[in-house]
Chains A and B, each alone.
Chain A
Amino acid sequence: MCLSTGAIGLSQGLRSNTSVQVLIARSCGFCEAGVGLLLDSLASSYVRQLDLSENIVDNAALRLAPLLQHSTSLSELVLSGVRLGQCVAFRAAHTAEQAAERRRFVRAFGDNTSLCKLDVSNNRLGNEGAQTVAEILGCNQTIMWLNMSGNRMTHTGAMALARAVRERTTAYSSSSSSSSSSSSVVKLEYLDLRLNNLHAHSLELLAILEPVVSTLLIEREPEFQGTIVDGVQEV
């Protein structure tokens, strides 16, 4: 069991702090319990940018929910390389309790109205995790920048994401054409799908996503490029 002595001290300070807007704590050696403490202490904060990359987050990610639901300032959340693939919210639910946890987690993103940038790269999310992110995109209206690179995703996961992005763009188009609409869906502008297992399907994904995402980063199919060098297709 991790004692998280560093996180305890910091979280105690953050709990009564109302001024911190940017907290960058990459690679601090925090374990799941420590990250949980930090997230609890930030639940009613005014933090605008939060980066906890390269720490061990696992199921502590579930404790993001109160921050997401209450915050009107959080615009950038960076959780790169934090083992989100180990979190129940990003795995197939085998029990009713796990399914409920997953729904609560996704709903928290739906309730949030300030988040613009989400980086969940390098988390081994796989297709099940990609499905969760697709659900998040389906209910959240403000995310416009998403990094899903390095997540061991294959065609199944990428297609779930692509469908969510396409539906979101449709919702964006109809809300922007209807001046009386109260909906304010934001179009996804940036999507990074590099370092996944998508080589064989890159053209298909490109065809779906190119019209709806301004900047798409995806490895080209080797045959498409004519060499085996990893390439980046920037549309």
Chain B
Amino acid sequence: MEQVAACTDVIAACSSTLRRLHLSCKLTSNDAPKLLAALAGAVDKFEALRELRIFSVCVRSAENMTLLGRVLSKCPQLELLQLQSCLETPHVARLMHELLGSATRLRVLLLDDNSLEDSSINSMVPLLLESRRIRVLDLSMNSLTHTAGSALGGLLAANKALIVGLDISMNELDDAGKAQADVWRRARSLSHSLIGCA
């Protein structure tokens, strides 16, 4: 609760010339609406916002997603959006649809460490292809498999001149190498421990 209050105070104190806003709150789905409501109530201050980073605010319910969508639709100058540890697969497509429709300057989209599944990527790719403006896409630390790998391949193939940076780390795009890599990592960390003890 204290964190929500502190964040809402910060949002209330923002001026309309605000360029960058980073919110790292660790809010559950119960507390997140208060923060999102505070953001939604201050959207007139986000006209000039270029960079919005939100960390660990649970935006997983449809209501929260609607609030966030409302905020993002009022950030016409937004160039970078990071939603780290905020999302889950349901409703992401709708959020992306609203986002890519309104934030016409958005170039960098960082969706790392969420629980996004293949269906999120499958629904995002057509939107990304249509909007043709995202240049940096971070999908690291999600729950993507080979299906998402193929969808991203389609994005790369069709969207020839746009995506400049892509991070797909820490997903299980291939099962086959996963088990081998885990065994290798464990053995290596054991041998490092032994060197440390030597």
Pick from A12, A21, A25, A197: contact of B164, CB below 8 A.
Answer: A21
Most interface-central of B156, B167, B171 (chain A CB within 10 A): B156
Q: Mark A195-206, 1 if CB is under 8 A from B, else 0.
A: 111010000000
Q: Using known A-B contacts A29-B174, A124-B188, determine if residue A10 contacts B153 with beta carbons closer than 8 Å.
A: yes
Q: Using known A-B contacts A6-B145, A6-B150, determine if residue A20 contacts B195 with beta carbons closer than 8 Å.
A: no
Residue ID in chain B nearest A196 by CB atoms: B195
- Give residues of chain A (7-41) contacting chain B, Cβ–Cβ below 8 Å: 7-32, 34-35
Smallest CB separation, A92 vs chain B (Å)? 21
A176 contacts chain B at the CB level, 8 A cutoff: no
Pick from A3, A11, A34: contact of B153, CB below 8 A.
Answer: A11
Q: Using known A-B contacts A5-B146, A6-B145, A56-B181, determine if residue A29 contacts B175 with beta carbons closer than 8 Å.
A: yes
Interface residues on A, range: 35 or more
How far, in whole Å, are A81 and B160 apart by their CA atoms in the complex? 31
Q: Using known A-B contacts A2-B177, A29-B181, A56-B181, determine if residue A19 contacts B155 with beta carbons closer than 8 Å.
A: no
Residue contact A9 to B152, C-beta cutoff 8 Å: yes
Pick from B166, B175, B195: contact of A24, CB below 8 A.
Answer: B166
Chain B residues within CB distance 8 Å of chain A: 136, 140, 145-146, 148-157, 159-178, 180-181, 184-185, 188, 191-192, 195-196, 198
The 8 closest A-B pairs by CB, nearest first: A9-B150, A13-B153, A6-B173, A13-B156, A6-B149, A31-B177, A6-B146, A29-B178
Chain A residues within CB distance 8 Å of chain B: 2-32, 34-35, 51, 54-56, 81, 83, 122, 124, 150, 152, 195-197, 199, 230
Known A-B contacts: A11-B153, A22-B167. Give 5 more (CB < 8 A).
A6-B174, A13-B156, A22-B136, A55-B177, A81-B185
